[in-house]
Amino acid sequence: MIPEIIARRYLVPDRRLETLSRRVASHLFADNEAHPSRGVPLRRAVMHAMAQKRFLPAGNTLLAGVEPIRPNCAILPPVTDATLPEVLERAANLWESRIGLGFSFDGCSDPVAALQALSERNAAIDLGHRPQRGNMATLSASHPRVGEFIRAKTASGPRRHALYNFNTSVVLRDEDLRRPGRADGVLRVVAEAAWDGGDPGVVFLDRITGCLPYDYPSVSRALGEIDTLVPCGEQSMHPNETCGLGAVNLAADAFWRQERGAWRFNERSFSETVELAVRALDRAQSLTDSAGDAALQKASRATRRIGLGLMGWHDAVQSRALGAEEQAALLRTVGLLFRAASHQASAALGREVGSCQLATDCPRAHLTVTCVPPTGGITLLAGNRSFALDPLPQELDRMSVGRQLASARDWQPYFDNTISKTINVPFDATPQDVHNVFLAALETGLKTLTVYRSGSRSHQPLQTHHASCETC
């Protein structure tokens, strides 16, 4: 399967990861370009990191050298009744360039009708050998027609299958949470719909904007408020921002060695790979072409946002038979190293090429550096069985909801943005069980969440994924 993916999806005739790695690294860095502090050739270092499966950029960057580098995802300005025709045209152009989009429908008098118009336009686009991009639609809990939006993809809703190319989420703000009856009522309706088929999820928006590592109000004055997320929820962005993604693979053999019969994690190799990955995504961001959309290009050059994540956690700990205490200690070690190395790399680039333009308190080159997207194609390239930080699919039936929530809670502090997370519940779970999951997420302090009941869709995606998500 892996050689076929390399050939078909990433256009490498000889089907070899080494050839793909060389092509991408050669497009990003000149032959004589050296690392400023270590002196090693950057092209060679990135090529080796990819070939050894330590780091892999996401799908659009993996086409570097044969097609223009496109962003993995972007946020368009809020959809309103007046702007819908313009949004349809902009979105179609970006979809044709394999860019997943996030939309807020708060300004629409009939948000479901507007969503359907965009879904139909997206469905008419044929990307040939490439999978169709997913999209995100959000609506605030305070919108007068939020009930229709929540039920839009249920079995009783006429648009369930028509909206297959959109994930949906309901936005709850602090003012909603301060009114327990209202928040609980909305979550109960959301739970009934999610029980039916996995949509919508929930977004606790003020938890996102209140934890961003920059002066959020100053950037919002220039670009607009954050009110939606990218297709799988790992990045919240201001209108017209874009992001390129990638992941460091914790299961890579180069990060592990045996000493006296015990496995040891190579902290130095990991930190150096994280730093190198930030430089690779930064260069890809500089070379990214936003499909001729001037507004996207301008905002993205100003904020230089990138999204580096982690993958292969469960492959790493399962294949090396690490116990619960060892896993907990390793999670903290990895999280601290990842956060420190990624921020240090961005700060070094800020000194070399300049810090992001809009955030006056941000000394880094990038407005945000890290998030956890659901790795798809690059998981297969890495030879992993688990996606991003999720458990192996066969473990889900044995992993309690509490453990799934705790895992997301434990990882969240180490990332600038959010974790794309779906909580999986068994087929016999009730709507009340799903409601309890959302309440637990609220109490746990999570920022976003989706719940999927196994078997609730006739064409079931991998259980570790939200539907129609192809970011990587």
Percent of the chain with pLDDT over 70: 93
> What is the biggest distance separating any 2 CA atoms in the chain, rounded to whole angstroms?
68
pLDDT of residue 354: 85
Model confidence pLDDT, tens digit, residues 293-303: 999 999 999 99
pLDDT of residue 208: 96
Q: Please say whether the beta carbons of 199 and 157 come within 8 A.
A: no
In 137-245, alpha helices (H): 146-150, 174-177, 180-197, 205-209, 216-223
Q: Please say whether the beta carbons of 255 and 270 come within 8 A.
A: yes
Bigger pLDDT: 188 vs 390: 188
Residue 160 has pLDDT above 60, yes or no: no
Bigger pLDDT: 462 vs 133: 133
* Two structure tokens written together for 29: 């860095």
Question: What is the sign of the dihedral through the CA atoms of 237, 412, 192 and 466?
Answer: positive
DSSP string, 198-255: S--EEEEHHHHHTT-SS-HHHHHHHH-----B-TTSS-B--TT-EEEEEEEETT-GGG
* Two structure tokens written together for 468: 């129609």
pLDDT of residue 471: 38
Question: What is the sign of the dihedral through the CA atoms of 440, 442, 446 and 452?
Answer: positive
Model's pTM, two decimal places?
0.93
Distance of CA 89 to the CA centre of its chain: 25
Q: Please say whether the beta carbons of 298 and 358 come within 8 A.
A: no
Average per-residue pLDDT for the chain:
91
pLDDT of residue 345: 97
- Quickly tell me which residue has 């920059």 as its tokens: 214
pLDDT of residue 9: 87
175-190 as b/e, with b when 16 or more CB fall inside 10 Å? ebbeeeeebeebbebb
- Tell me the average pLDDT across 130-155: 90
Residue 467 has pLDDT above 90, yes or no: no
- Band (378; pLDDT cuts 50, 70, 90): very high
- Band (465; pLDDT cuts 50, 70, 90): very low
Q: Where in the chain are the domains?
A: 2-69+241-419
Bigger pLDDT: 133 vs 68: 68
pLDDT of residue 155: 74
Residue 334 has pLDDT above 50, yes or no: yes
Q: Which CATH architecture has domain 2-69+241-419?
A: Alpha-Beta Barrel (3.20)
Quote the DSSP letter at residue 236: B
pLDDT of residue 472: 40
- Quickly tell me which residue has 């499966």 as its tokens: 53
- Band (100; pLDDT cuts 50, 70, 90): very high
- Tell me the average pLDDT across 251-260: 94
pLDDT of residue 464: 36
Mind spelling out the 3-state secondary structure of 133-156? CCEEEEEECCCCCHHHHHCCCCCC
pLDDT of residue 14: 94
Model confidence pLDDT, tens digit, residues 337-359: 999 999 999 999 999 988 887 76
- Tell me the average pLDDT across 420-429: 92
Residue 129 has pLDDT above 70, yes or no: no
